[in-house]
Amino acid sequence: MPDIDKISSLLGALNEQEVYDAIGEIISAQPTGETVLDTILACQKGMEIVGEEFEKGNYFIGELMYAAQIMDEAIGRLKPLLGTAGEGAESGIVVLGSVAGDIHDIGKSIFRSLLEASGFQVVDIGIDQQPEAFVSAIEKHRPHIVGLSGVLTLSIESMRKTVALIEEAGYRSDLKIIIGGSAASEEACFHSGADYWTKNAALGVKKCKEYRSEQQ
């Protein structure tokens, strides 16, 4: 029986090829759906280790990004074995996007990977998105949380307009709004009317989990 727990440590240690080898072993043993889910969970735990190392200051953004790549590849190899069983929204639905005027994508991608690793279903509406696009996505997907990403300071005003439009559309009290990226700050949070701000993707995921516990 392949060692699933080993996968968490391998991913946490960023041993890319060993992660794929271990997953390959599991796949070739014709695993049950439960084993596949356990393996995905092991990958998620591995990402949690990476997040912890980042918070401790041992890992940097580079490690987060590399880990996210390994994670995406690993999950990509496992998901086909699940059919639709792996699509879970138990943790919650997050609509995520970079606000109008901002075409940066990297931080948002890291945050998305970490959210998915924690079991969230993420609807990434992309970069340079007008407030209307966020409201459309909210109407369609009924998320629990909305994430606004912005790297440039010009995004603060876009964040404010987005939150204002969500309020105007009547959705504000149904969800939590968090802002992230280099432009995020206490002032930006205050000015935009968001609920929470962070420059740290791992802390953002923690907050999302807290919100979901409160909401449920």
Partner 1 sequence: MNSNNSIFEERKKTRDDLVSLKKPKRVPVFSIFTLEAACGLAEVSVMEAHYDLSVAEKAYDRICETFYSDSLPVLNLRYPPVYDALGSRNWVLGSNGSMQHSEVELMHTDEYDEFIAGPMKMIMEVFLPRACSELDKDSARAGIALAKAFAEYKSQVRNHAEIYGRLAEKHSYADGIITGPLTVAPFDFIADQLRGIKGIMGDIYRAPEKLLEAVNAVTPHMLKLAVPRGVAERIQCFIPLHLAPLINPAQFDRLYWPSLKRLVESADALGVGSTIFLEQDCTRYIESFDSLPDSMIAWIDDGDRESFAAGLGRNHVFGGFFDPTITLARSKEECIDEAKRLLDTCMDSGHFFFSFNRNVMDIKSIDIAKLAAVLEWVRNNAYY
- Interface with partner 1 (CB under 8 A): 14, 16, 59-63, 65-66, 69, 100-106, 109, 128, 130, 152-154, 156-158, 182, 185-188, 190-191
Of 25 and 128, the one with the shorter C-beta distance to partner 1 is 128
Of 14 and 122, the one with the shorter C-beta distance to partner 1 is 14
| Shortest CB 104 distance to partner 1, Å | 7
Of 123 and 127, the one with the shorter C-beta distance to partner 1 is 127
Sign for the CA dihedral angle at 78, 85, 36, 109 comes to positive
Give DSSP secondary structure letters for 113-141: HHHHHTT-EEEEEEEEE-HHHHHHHHHHH
Of 45 and 104, the one with the shorter C-beta distance to partner 1 is 104
| Shortest CB 29 distance to partner 1, Å | 27
The whole-angstrom separation of Cα 110 and Cα 202 is: 9
| Shortest CB 79 distance to partner 1, Å | 20
67 membership: H or E segment, kind and range = helix 61-78
| Shortest CB 152 distance to partner 1, Å | 5
Write the Ramachandran bin of 93: left for phi over 0, alpha for psi from -120 to 50, otherwise beta: beta
| Shortest CB 154 distance to partner 1, Å | 3
The whole-angstrom separation of Cα 53 and Cα 55 is: 5
Of 100 and 145, the one with the shorter C-beta distance to partner 1 is 100
User: Tokens in use for 90?
Assistant: 């138990």
